[in-house]
Structure 1
Amino acid sequence: MKGNPFKSLDETRLNFFHFKNLFTTGMGVFTDGYDLSSIGIVLGLVLSSYGIKEGSSSYVLYDSLVAGSALVGAAIGALIFGQLSRMGRKKFYGIDVGLMTVGALLQALAPNAATLIAIRFLLGMGIGADYVLSPMIMAEHTNAKDRGKIIALGFGMFWGFGATTAAAITLLLSSIHISPDIIWRIVLAAGAIPAASVIYLRRKIPETARYLGRIKGDLEEMKEVIREITNSQNVNVDNDLKDNKTLRYYFRRNFRTFFGAMVLWFLFDIAAYSSILFGPTSIAKVLGLTPSLFQFVTEFAFTVPGGIMAILLIDRVGRKPLQVVGFLGMASFLLAFSTYLSVTGTTLDIKTGALVIGPAFSPLLGIFLYGMFNFMEQAGPGSISASGMLGVELSPTRVRGEVQSFTVAAGRIGASISSFIFPSLMATYGISFAITFLSILMFTAAIITLLVIPETRSKPLEVSSGELETIEGEKNKA
C-alpha cells in the first residue's frame, strides 16, 4: 500500500459521511427496486385496463413490451451516463433520479399501452444512469474494509426494500377495495416519492477524490474531499496523479475480467428478471398466490434475509465464494422447483392462463423451493454482480464509468431478453422447461465466476483493479 495516494480513504473508519452517502445513493436504488418490480406485480391489471386479455393474440407481445421497455431504456441510459461520468461522477448525479421521478409520475397518466411503453423507456434511462453512478460513488468514497457491505446494503438490500414496499402498497390498496384501474396507476406513480427525496442531496454530494485525482488532475480539491471524509488535516499528496491511459489500453490489459463481469450480470439478469417480471403473474398463479402477496412473501421472507446474509459475510468470506455458492444455490433450487412441477403434473398454459394443479402438489413446498431461489440469489450474485460491485472493483478509475456502463448494459440486455424469452419458452415448452433452462444458465455462471473472477475482498480499489501498478509506474517516470 506504500504508493497508494488514497490510503487514508481506504483506512478510515465508517463515519457520518459514509452513512449519509449510503442514504443518498441507497434511496435511488430503493426506487430502482420499486420501479422494476412494481410493474411485474400490476402487469395483469395494466393489460386488463387497456383491454388486452389473456388468450388474445396480442397478450404475450404487450406482456413483454410493457415489462421490458424500462430495461431497454436502462441499457441505453447506462451507456450514455457511463460516457458522461468521464466529466464527473457528481456532475450528473441527481439527473438520474430526476428522470425516474418524471417517468414514474407520467405512468399514471398513460392513456394506452403504447404510451406507457414509451414512458417506461424514459424511466429506464434514469434507472440505467443510477446503476452506473451509484455503485461507483459508493465504492470510491468508502473504505476498503467495509466497501463490500456498504455496496451490498446500499444497492442490494435497498433494492429489495423497494420491491417489498411496492408489494406492500399493492396489498394495502387491494385490501381497501380500490378500483384495479386506479391501483396500478397509484402503485407505479408512487415510485416518484423516494426518487424525488434525494435529488437535492445528490446535487450536494462531493465529487469523489479518485475522480479528482486520477481523471481531473485537481490535487487541491482531491485533498479537500479526503479531509472531509477522513476528518484529517494531514493529506500528503504532491505528485501529479492524472491518468492519461486510454480505454483501449485498459481493455487490452484487463479484458478477461471486464468481459467476465459483463457476462455474469447478463446471465444473472436473465434468471432474476424472469422472476421479477413474470413471477408475480405466472409463478404466483401456480402457487395459488395473488401477484402482490407473491412478491411480498418472496421479497420479505426470502430476498431480504438473503441480503442480510450477504452483508454479514461479504467482507469476511469474500465476493467470489459467496457468488459461486449463490449461483449454485439458485441453479439447484430452480431445478428442484422445475422437477417438482413435472413430478406432480402441475402446468400452466401461458396462452390461455389455464392452470392444472397436480393432486400431490403442495403450495407451501412450492413456495419454499422457489423462495430459496430468491434467498440464494440475494445472498450471492444479487448483492455482488447485480449491485455493480464487480464492475467498480475490477476496473481502474480512468475507465470505471465506461466499464461499469458496459456491465450494466449487459445485465439490462439480459433482462430485456428475459422479458421476451421466458414467456415464449413457457408458451412453447411449458413452465417447467423454462425454469430448467434458467437453472442451466445459473450453473454456467457459477463456473465462469470460479474460473474468471479474482477475489477483491478488503482490497483498495487501486489494488483490486491493478491500477496501483500504473500509479507507481507514473511516479517512477516522474
Structure 2
Amino acid sequence: MVEDQQFGVLNALDVAKTQLYHFTAIVIAGMGFFTDAYDLFCISMVTKLLGRIYYHKASTEKPGTLPPEVAGAVNGVALCGTLIGQLFFGWLGDKLGRRRVYGITLIIMTFCSLGSGISFGNSPKGVMTTLCFFRFWLGVGIGGDYPLSATIMSEYANKKTRGAFIAAVFAMQGFGILVGGIVALIFSSIFDHHFPSPIYSADPDGSTAPQADYLWRIILMAGALPAVITYYWRMKMPETARYTALVAKNIKQAIEDMLKVLQVDLEADKQLIAQQNVRDPKTDYGLFSKGFLRRHGLPFLGTTSTWFLLDIAFYSQNLFQKEIFSEIGWIPKATTMNAINEVYKIARAQTLIALWSTIPGYWFTVAFIDTMGRFTIQLMGFFFMTVFMFALALPYEYWTKPGNDIGFVIIYSLTFFFANFGPNVTTFVVPAEIFPARLRTTCHGISAAAGKAGAIVGAFGFLYAAQSKDKTKTDAGYPPGIGVKNSLIVLGFINFAGMLMTFLVPESKGKSLEELSGENVNDETASSMVATSGKNLRHK
C-alpha cells in the first residue's frame, strides 16, 4: 500500500550512508548562510563611517554620528525584511516546492548587495533612504534562505547524522562573519595607506578623505560574490524526495530524484507507484487547526519563543559590539583616530571574536549535536549565556577600569561561544525536523520570523537602552538610556527565560522526520509523540 511505499522511499533516506552529495548539499545550502551572515553583520562595521561621511558637523569637536532614527533604520531595516522573507518564502516552499523557489532568494540577495553599494542621493538623507531600501529587500532574500536551506538539508539527510548536517549549513554563518571582518580589514588598510584621513578636527572641510566613501560601498557589495557563485549549483539540485513523495504525492518522481544524487536501492518500491494518490484525512490537517495544535502546539510554542528570546540577546551583542568595546576601552575613542582607521579597529575586533569564539561554537555543535542531543545543547547554551552575561554586568564598573578590558572581552567571547554551541544553532535545526513535510518550511519560517522579531527588539532596543543614563553624555541626540550595565542585566534575564522555554522543545535526536512529525501515523500515536515536550517541562 501507499503508506508502505512512502515509508520505503523515506526509510531509504533515513538509513542511507553518508555520501558525497550530502557534503555537496551542505556547501550549496551553507554558502547561502555564509552570504546571509556577511550581509547582515557587515553593516555594523560601516555605520560609524557613514556617520563621519554624511553627518559630519564642523562646529562640534567630535566625529559625525548617525542620528538615532537613521542608525536604527540602517541597522534594523534588513532584519525587518528578513522577517518578511522568512514568512513568505517559508509558505511558498510548502506550496511550490523547495527547489522551485530556492534560487529566487539568491537573485534577490545578489542584486540588493550590489544596490546597497551604489546607493545614491543628493543629500545624506537621500543616500541613507536608498541604502535602507536595498537592505530591506536584501533582508527579504536572506529571510527566504532560512526555512528553505534548513528543510532541504533535513530532507536529504539520514537520521543518524541529520543534526550535524543541518548545523553545518548554519555554521557557515561563522565564516561569513569572519570573512566580513577580513574584507573590511583588507580594504580599510589599503584605503588608510593610500588615502589617509587626518585625525578629526573642526576644520570646515571635514576630517574624512573623499575616497572613504568608496570603502563602505566595496564592503557591502562584496556580499554579492558568494551568492552569484552558488546560484548555478542550486538550480541543479533536484527537489527533495520527501516533498515529492509526501506533499506532491509523486513517488515515481521522488525515486528518480533520489537516484540522481544518492546511491540507494529502491527497486522493490517501484511496484507500488500506482497507489500514490491516497490521502489520509486524519493526518491532512491545516496550520493552526485543532489537529495541528493537538499534535504540535507545545513544540511550536517552544521553537518560536526560544528563537525570539535568543535573538534579542544575540543580535544586540553582534550589531552593537563596537559600542560595548568602546565603552570598556578595547576600541579607542573615535576622536583619537581617523574614519578609515576606525573601520579597521572595529573590523579587527569582530574578526577576533569570530575566530576565537563564534566559529568554534558553531562547529562544537556540529560535532556533538547527534550525540548530546538538541535539547541538552540548547539548555546548556542558554545557561552559560545567562551566567556570563551576569558576570559581565554585575561587576561592570570593575571591567571599565584601565587594564581590565581583556578579561571583559574573554568573558564576552564566551557568551558568543555558548550561543553557537547552544541555542543559536539548535533553534535553527529543530523546526526543520519536527513538523509535517507539507507544513515544514512554513513552520520553520514562522519560528525564524519570531527570532527576527527578537532581533528587531534587540537592534532597536539596545540602541537606545545602552545609552548613558546621563543626558549630557548621550551621542547625537540619543535619549538617555539605562546604560550598558543595566542593558547586559536585562539580556541576562532574557537568556534565563530562554532556558525555561527550552523545556517545551522535544528531543529529535536519532528519530526519522516522519516519526517526529507524526505523518502517516494515527491520532493516538501522534498525540503521544508531541507529549515529549510536555514531559520535558514537567521534569524540569
Shorter-chain TM-score above 0.5: yes
Further displaced range: 458-467 or 261-270? 458-467
Match of 1:255 in 2: 297
**Which letter maps to 1:173?**
F
Match of 1:220 in 2: 252
Percent of residue pairs bearing the same amino acid type: 32
Which of 501, 509, 516 lines up with 1:457 in the alignment?
Answer: 509
Which of 475, 478, 483 lines up with 1:430 in the alignment?
Answer: 483
- Deviation of the 1:48 alpha carbon: 2.5
- Distance in 1 between the 2:306 and 2:491 partners? 13
Which of 91, 98, 112 lines up with 1:103 in the alignment?
Answer: 112
- Deviation of the 1:391 alpha carbon: 1.2
Asked if 2 retains the 8 angstrom alpha-carbon contact of 1:306 and 1:377, the reply is yes
Further displaced range: 50-59 or 235-244? 50-59
- Distance in 1 between the 2:296 and 2:422 partners? 24
Q: Determine if the alignment matches structure 1 residue 59 to structure 2 residue 67.
A: yes
- Deviation of the 1:461 alpha carbon: 0.8
Asked if 2 retains the 8 angstrom alpha-carbon contact of 1:65 and 1:419, the reply is no
Find the structure with the greater CA-based Rg: 2
**Which letter maps to 1:314?**
I
Match of 2:354 in 1: 299
- Distance in 2 between the 1:100 and 1:340 partners? 42
Asked if 2 retains the 8 angstrom alpha-carbon contact of 1:305 and 1:375, the reply is yes
Asked if 1 retains the 8 angstrom alpha-carbon contact of 2:52 and 2:65, the reply is no
Which of 494, 510, 518 lines up with 1:441 in the alignment?
Answer: 494
Match of 2:530 in 1: none
Further displaced range: 161-170 or 245-254? 245-254
Q: Secondary structure at the match of 2:101?
A: coil
Which of 3, 7, 14 lines up with 1:4 in the alignment?
Answer: 7
Superposed CA offset, 1:217-252 (max 9, x none): 111101112333431342544353656432223234
Match of 1:162 in 2: 176
Which of 340, 360, 368 lines up with 2:410 in the alignment?
Answer: 368
- Deviation of the 1:473 alpha carbon: 9.3
Match of 2:452 in 1: 412
- Distance in 2 between the 1:257 and 1:463 partners? 14
- Distance in 1 between the 2:458 and 2:268 partners? 50
Which of 77, 88, 102 lines up with 1:69 in the alignment?
Answer: 77
Q: Determine if the alignment matches structure 1 residue 188 to structure 2 residue 220.
A: yes
- Distance in 2 between the 1:146 and 1:467 partners? 21
- Distance in 1 between the 2:88 and 2:236 partners? 22
Gaps of 5+ in 2: 121-126, 193-210, 332-344, 468-480, 527-540
Alignment of 1:18-417 (within 5 A): 18-51=22-55, 59-85=67-93, 86-111=95-120, 112-155=127-170, 157-178=171-192, 179-237=211-269, 238=272, 239-240=275-276, 244-247=284-287, 248=289, 249-289=291-331, 290-344=345-399, 346=400, 358-359=401-402, 361-385=403-427, 388-417=428-457
TM-score w.r.t. the length of structure 2 is 0.81
- Distance in 2 between the 1:472 and 1:448 partners? 25
- Number of equivalences: 457
- Distance in 2 between the 1:437 and 1:242 partners? 49
Match of 2:477 in 1: none
- Distance in 2 between the 1:30 and 1:395 partners? 26
Gaps of 5+ in 1: 347-357
Q: Secondary structure at the match of 2:42?
A: helix
- Distance in 1 between the 2:219 and 2:143 partners? 21
Superposed CA offset, 1:138-183 (max 9, x none): 111111111111111111x200000000001111112223543222
Superposed CA offset, 1:256-282 (max 9, x none): 101210111111111111112111343
Superposed CA offset, 1:333-381 (max 9, x none): 111111232345x3xxxxxxxxxxx24x511101101000011111111
- Deviation of the 1:317 alpha carbon: 0.7
Match of 1:352 in 2: none
**Which letter maps to 2:297?**
F
Q: Secondary structure at the match of 2:371?
A: coil
TM-score w.r.t. the length of structure 1 is 0.91
Asked if 2 retains the 8 angstrom alpha-carbon contact of 1:284 and 1:294, the reply is no
**Which letter maps to 1:340?**
P
**Which letter maps to 2:16?**
T
- Deviation of the 1:55 alpha carbon: 9.1
Alpha-carbon spacing, 1:271–1:194, altered in 2? closer, same or farther (3 Å): same
Asked if 2 retains the 8 angstrom alpha-carbon contact of 1:78 and 1:405, the reply is yes
- Distance in 1 between the 2:66 and 2:351 partners? 29
- Deviation of the 1:135 alpha carbon: 0.5
Further displaced range: 464-473 or 216-225? 464-473
Q: Secondary structure at the match of 1:304?
A: helix
Which of 498, 521, 528 lines up with 1:469 in the alignment?
Answer: 521
**Which letter maps to 1:141?**
Y
